[in-house]
């Protein structure tokens, strides 16, 4: 994709709205607000650190699609730890405490470590990347994420040659997360990737979106974003990353193995048992649930970058 073909977020979102939001973050981080304004900032950002994310736009990871609004991104979520309805996380996630927070690196690594979230935040330069984001239920978004490739953390951990998979474990605290009291899934929420998938530069360790730290309902303070896979693969509120030589028992595969496979690549040719995956609707488009359907692309439009990872595999068997 040519640089000239890539619109900046300010060209897609009304510039005044985009810049005003960023200015609010900057002022809050600089201590320019009083007590009332600072409280407003905390409510709006749902963040773990009162600072703006300084993220450099990476043109290699920008799709030219229209951005989904901040409001839609933060009010229509799958985060079962806070409820099963799409509106539950925005309503309930205020109970999540994102400070203090640590992420433990374990398993087949030479350098196991417990990272404080501030240390992890500073491990590599932040980038702003616009990714398509596809949910298994048929809705999609286009989100400007802030973070850096997970590969930076993997390299810092110095994995052993025997490490073939990476397991991601999310926080599961009944006190903070009302959904954990229900046995919908076997908590804690667990996801996994093959090591080459985890090392792919598209795989993002995300700390924010729209230039702000992650809202709690979107997986604060740190989550994965894997744009060629269905959204549930992108583990939220991560507390542990474990390197292993065996395929992890991921939450949805354990719960419903005939519906959710380990790989979970966006594949319009493989239907979910209860609905087709051939089309999708963009959240926020005019018409809502009656918005026109659009054709779903193989690997969510990232086939040129990732299809080689699955060369020779039967993607209907390994779904």
pLDDT over 50 at 161, yes or no? yes
CATH topology of domain 3-131+145-254: Sulfite Oxidase; Chain A, domain 2 (3.90.420)
Express each pLDDT in 56-78 by its tens digit: 999 999 999 999 999 999 999 99
Whole-number Å distance between alpha carbons of 57 and 172: 33
Measured CA distances, 152 to 94, 198, 228 (Å):
30, 10, 19
Residues 101/114, Cβ–Cβ less than 8 Å: no
**Residue boundaries of the structural domains of the chain:** 3-131+145-254
Where are any strands of DSSP class E within 63-172?
102-107, 113-116, 127-134, 139-149, 165-170
pTM for the whole structure: 0.85
Mean pLDDT, residues 169-188 taken together: 97
The confidence score (pLDDT) of residue 239 equals 98
Tell me the pLDDT band of 199, cut-offs 50, 70 and 90. Answer: very high
Express each pLDDT in 6-40 by its tens digit: 333 333 343 334 444 444 443 433 443 333 333 32
Q: Which residues are CB-neighbours of 304 under 8 A, at least 6 positions away?
A: none
Express each pLDDT in 246-270 by its tens digit: 999 999 999 999 999 999 999 999 9
Tell me the pLDDT band of 287, cut-offs 50, 70 and 90. Answer: low
The confidence score (pLDDT) of residue 244 equals 98
């Amino acid at each position: 994709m040519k640089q000239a073909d890539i619109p900046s977020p300010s060209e897609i979102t009304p510039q005044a709205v985009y810049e005003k939001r960023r200015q609010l973050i900057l002022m809050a981080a600089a201590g320019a607000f009083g007590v009332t304004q600072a409280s407003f900032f905390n409510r709006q950002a749902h963040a773990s650190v009162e600072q703006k994310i300084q993220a450099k736009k990476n043109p290699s990871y920008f799709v030219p699609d229209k951005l989904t609004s901040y409001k839609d991104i933060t009010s229509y979520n799958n985060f079962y730890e806070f409820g099963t309805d799409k509106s539950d996380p925005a309503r309930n996630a205020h109970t999540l405490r994102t400070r203090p927070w640590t992420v433990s690196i374990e398993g087949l690594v030479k350098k196991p470590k417990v990272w404080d979230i501030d240390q992890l935040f500073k491990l590599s330069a932040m980038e702003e990347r616009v990714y398509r984001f596809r949910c298994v239920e048929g809705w999609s978004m286009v989100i400007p994420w802030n973070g850096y490739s997970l590969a930076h953390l993997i390299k810092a951990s110095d994995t052993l040659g025997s490490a073939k998979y990476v397991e991601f474990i999310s926080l599961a605290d009944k006190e903070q997360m009302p959904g954990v009291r229900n046995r919908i899934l076997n908590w804690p929420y667990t996801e996994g990737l093959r090591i080459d998938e985890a090392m792919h530069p598209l795989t993002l360790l995300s700390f924010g979106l729209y230039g702000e730290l992650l809202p709690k309902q979107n997986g604060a303070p740190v989550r994965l974003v894997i744009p060629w896979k269905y959204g549930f693969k992108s583990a939220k509120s991560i507390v542990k990353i474990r390197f292993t030589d065996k395929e992890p028992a991921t939450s949805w595969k354990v719960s419903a193995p005939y519906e959710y496979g380990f790989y979970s690549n966006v594949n319009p040719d493989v239907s979910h048992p209860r609905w087709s995956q051939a089309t999708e609707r963009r959240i926020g488009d005019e018409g809502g649930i009656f918005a026109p359907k659009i054709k779903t692309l193989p690997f969510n439009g990232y086939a040129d970058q990732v299809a080689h990872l699955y060369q020779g595999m039967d993607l209907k068997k390994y779904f």
